[in-house]
Amino acid sequence: VTDVLEQQGQSALLPDALISSILSQLMVQISYEPLECKAAATGAELNAQSKL
């Protein structure tokens, strides 16, 4: 994907710095993985934690 975007940017005569900036922003979005909650305290567990 990035190779194609880089080629299109070059064919559109965009400056290399602009192409690099766009691609770096794209990489951040592609590699982002949201955090997952593996466990949650509920009911009695939550009440016990709040008393500590």
Give the tens place of pLDDT for each residue, 17-37.
999 998 888 765 666 677 787
**3 state DSSP class of 51:** coil
- Alpha-carbon torsion angle 7, 4, 9, 15, nearest 10: -70
pTM of the model: 0.48
- High-pLDDT (> 90) share of the chain, %: 31
Give me the residue label for tokens 């064919």: 11
